[in-house]
Chains A and B, each alone.
Chain A
């Protein structure tokens, strides 16, 4: 459980910053830090076992049949990365607390940051590769939010979009590659896949899987030719750059290559693709970094270059080179995060990141200078700093690669190191050394402790690791390297390898060349500025823009905001697909199920229904007539239900139809009474043809279905058999509603309640809009009858009220055994009440209502819920019903079922919802200038 908790903690904690920001920025940062710290503590608790060489596993089976399980495991490699993510994460949170301006929404920032942190942890802890893929995509999504955090900056939005497109696209390739891999191995568990090197490397699908996985890793880790997104992502706030773009996210691709190293590496294909991609990235990144003036752009390209270096080392395919790669991951994370933070400080204090406008900061910002000096000299590879150790080891490994010839890789690696010396020196020399400038807007000075504490700590680490490498990182490097290469590795990092080591001479050459480069910089710069270069952003836009345009064209072609056009497209599409299925399907004779002979009464009803339905579109412009015709059709459906053995449906249809008609009549008060002529004949014909086509299809389908026996036995045989013994009722329809599918019904009454509340809320909003109330008051008054509340109607509805209630109660009580139940009873009650409203007006009736309609809805849902929860008291699942027979003198023995309580909830909810919907409409009517009536039946003098 513990591992899953580590990965879940940041996600759970992501809720905190948004809440804590109300308590202030410090509370917000502390809450975020506490979440990270807690995850780190949980991780450290697992560390001793991992350092002993064990693998810690957590397994939560979800869908074992599909290989979908939430499985996590922690080995040396995972521990190193998880520690890096959480450790640097803590420092970033501290730094960000002081970096973000007051106007920046800090809660949002830390929420995004924690989401990202959780996704990263998920990647390094996942055992199941499908789970890993999900976390992989989550890092792309959360980094999108972080890069675009300053929403007002166009560069931020464009950079975020580009990063998402590139890394997300790579993620798609990775999904394909991982699925192939899982198929070859026959398992989606990493631990199982990692044991199958032979099977995977001999598979004919090895190369496609390798290429797809590498595309995923290369896009994420900004390898050539996908490197261009990283510099554009620098529009993010600096803490994001320091966290995502130096220490963690861009290392995800590297992590993946290290993770897959035991099964994918060692082949010719792996060596060529990975080594040369890494090498090319290292050289190109370093060369561009040298000529960048923006501090963060320089660092971004230097990151690209350093990532290339690590990739190249992994490509070599030897355990020693892989170990060096891991060591450099640690070192690079430490010095590059520190460098980004100092760049942020410089930006913060001077207002610019342009090296051409900086210089001489050494005296103005001594603390920042010290940190920057340590970190950038480490990046250059100066002894005894940590960057020196791993870079020298890298050169040593490169010198031993003899393919394609004994010196090429070594020479190119040395040249890369030379360039990195150049850009590292330039960062330091052009930013901090040189004469002090006095053209800064404000005189820059060192920031407060909060801002420089985190980079200072990292700088201390740079020195400490450099001086005592084995003591500082040996304990974590060995298990990580062992996990990567699959055999026990015990490193002994030393500073001096003797004069015969080629790395020494390569290092010296790099330093010498680096100094020359710095000296000749102005002249080189002139040449660089004069050479034309491809702009990655233009190329990217050139590819993406036409694609986006094409997508837009399709979307607009189908949905331009015109409802009728979308409907035509939808009907046509469904129709054409159905037609294709029809034409290519089996022969289309009607089925052989014996049909029911026609009944003359039913024939008559059918005829009226058909005539009414046909007349509706012909006369639909007169809305009142169309509405009445619709009502006729609806009411005629009730006897159809009754005849075909569905008395419950007949009752429901009848009562709902009455309520619907009342609602529509009320609504028509506020709408035009006529529909103007808008469509010309061709359009009408087109619509009629389309509608006829759809009707023909549906009718034919219904006929084909009705004349055949079901292809599978209906499951309702169970409901029928269990209705009495299981649910205690003889009405199978009702027992299904309140018992077998009670959960379903519970959801439905909630939906109905919500619908009524939506209507209420909309009405409220309308009544508060001055323009609306003005328009209501100006509604043309229909000539009213002189007798708005006729005495006959008033008296009749008063008399009917108790009778209707009695009928409703009867229908409710008998529902479990005979046609009826809560739905119908609620509707009958509602109609009885509505008649009072109609007879005596809204005000008079509403004043006499003791309970609000909202309360009825709420009570209904609560009662139904309690009936369901009651089952828990007996140790049964939610909504299990029970029943018993009660005999009370002088009554006959009757049945008492918990389902009846549930049905009571249904009844209350339906009653409340119907009344609330209609009452809301009535309230609108009061604003049309209708005079409220004081007595039950007051006469209005005709005007």
Chain B
């Protein structure tokens, strides 16, 4: 299973970076979402994988590491807040500038 998860993390990172390199706001935000998935998963697996070992006292003696879980839990909520903020910024940019390009100077974006 480790290989599956590692490959999923790698793939999510790659998709995230590819989308973030696009030149319009919406794909960039999607890319950031993908990158958040990858980062959250990466942090989560830093506690190593365990099956049937939810860190609830009394249900197991060899629990999964609860600390990365707690950190990722708040990270998930915060990344929602961040996505929401850049989303409104993207909308504001589009409504004010009339386009949704991200680059001030996109000469090299041909």
Q: Is the CB of A645 within 8 A of B67?
A: no
Please pick, from A602, A648, A675, the residue contacting B69 in the complex, using a CB distance under 8 A. A648
Contact among A678, A818, A910 for B56, CB-based, below 8 A: A818
> Is the beta-carbon distance between A924 and B91 smaller than 8 angstroms?
yes
Neighbour of B11 across the interface among A571, A614, A620, A724, CB < 8 A: A614
Which residues 17-51 of B sit at the A interface, judged by CB distance below 8 A? 17-30, 33-34, 37-38, 40-42, 44-51
B15 to chain A, nearest CB (A): 5
A-B contact number at CB 8 A: 330
Interface bits A678-720 vs B (CB < 8 Å: 1, else 0): 1110010001101110111111101101110110001110011
Chain B proximity mask over A622-661: 1 for CB below 8 Å, otherwise 0: 0100110010011001001101111111001100100110
Contact yes or no, B2 A596, CB < 8 A: yes
The answer on a CB contact under 8 Å between B10 and A702 is: yes
Judge whether A759 and B15 touch: CB under 8 Å.
Answer: no
A705 and B45 in contact (CB under 8 A), knowing A633-B34, A652-B76? yes
The answer to whether A660 and B33 touch across the interface, beta carbons within 8 angstroms, is yes
A contact patch SS: helix
Contact B76 A656 (CB under 8 A): yes
Given A616-B30, A652-B73, A637 and B67 contact (CB-CB distance below 8 Å): no
- A709 to B2, alpha carbons, bound, how many Å? 13
The smallest C-beta distance from A52 to any residue of chain B, in angstroms, reads 59
Where chain B touches its partner, the secondary structure class is helix
B66 near A663 with CB under 8 A, answer no
Q: Chain B residues with Cβ under 8 A from A103's Cβ?
A: none
Which residues of A (561-609) have their CB < 8 Å from a CB of B?
A: 561-565, 567-568, 571, 593, 595-599, 602-603, 606, 609
Contact assessment for B2 and A762 in the assembled complex, using a CB-CB cutoff below 8 Å: no
Cα(A598)–Cα(B7), bound, Å: 14
Chain A residues 188 to 233 lying within 8 A of chain B, measured CB to CB, are none
* Contact assessment for B74 and A562 in the assembled complex, using a CB-CB cutoff below 8 Å: no
**Residues in A whose Cβ lies below 8 Å from that of B46:** 705
User: Is the Cβ of B109 less than 8 Å from the Cβ of A733?
Assistant: no
Shortest Cβ gap from A562 to chain B (Å):
4
Q: Are A670 and B84 in contact (CB under 8 A)?
A: no
Residue of B nearest to A631 (CB): B33
B3-A703 in contact (CB<8A): yes
Q: How far is the CA of A817 from the CA of B103 in the complex (A)?
A: 49
Any chain B CB within 8 A of the CB of A492? no
Q: Verify A672–B63 contact, CB threshold 8 A.
A: no
Point out the residue from A649, A699, A733, A751 that lies within 8 Å of B13, measured CB to CB.
A699
Closest to A642 in B: B54
A663 CA to B38 CA in the complex, in Å? 21
| A348 → B minimal CB distance (Å) | 47
Query: Shortest Cβ distance from B92 into chain A, in angstroms?
Result: 5
A756 & B74 in contact (Cβ 8 Å cutoff): no
Chain B proximity of A249: nearest CB distance (Å): 41
Is the Cβ of A762 less than 8 Å from the Cβ of B92?
Answer: yes
A730 close to B (CB within 8 Å): yes
Of B15, B37, B52, B108, the contact of A617 (CB 8 Å cutoff):
B15
Instruction: Tell me the bound Cα distance from A154 to B66 in angstroms.
Output: 60
Whole-angstrom distance between the alpha carbons of A818 and B48 in the complex?
A: 21
* Contact with A748, one of B5, B47, B78 (Cβ below 8 angstroms): B78
Provide the A660-677 mask, 1 if CB < 8 A to any CB of B, else 0: 100110011011100110
B58: chain A residues within 8 A (beta carbon): 730
A596 and B1 alpha carbons, distance in the complex (Å): 6
Q: Which of chain B's residues have a CB closer than 8 A to the CB of A700?
A: 6, 10
Asked if A634 and B33 make an inter-chain contact with CB atoms under 8 angstroms apart, the answer reads yes
Cβ 8 A contact of A647, one of B12, B45, B54? B54
Chain B residues, Cβ within 8 Å of A338: none
A699 touches B10 (CB 8 A): yes
Q: Which of B26, B28, B34, B64 has the most CB of A within 10 A?
A: B26
Does A432 make an interface contact (CB < 8 A)? no
A561 near B57: Cβ-Cβ < 8 Å: no
Known: A698-B13, A710-B48, A741-B70. 4 other contacts (CB 8 A): A620-B19, A683-B109, A716-B67, A752-B77
- Smallest CB-CB A-B distances: 8 pairs: A699-B10, A695-B14, A703-B6, A561-B104, A755-B81, A732-B66, A736-B70, A691-B18
A-B contact pairs, 16 of them (CB 8 A): A603-B4, A630-B30, A630-B33, A637-B41, A645-B50, A646-B64, A646-B69, A678-B110, A679-B23, A716-B66, A723-B57, A765-B92, A771-B96, A772-B96, A823-B73, A914-B80
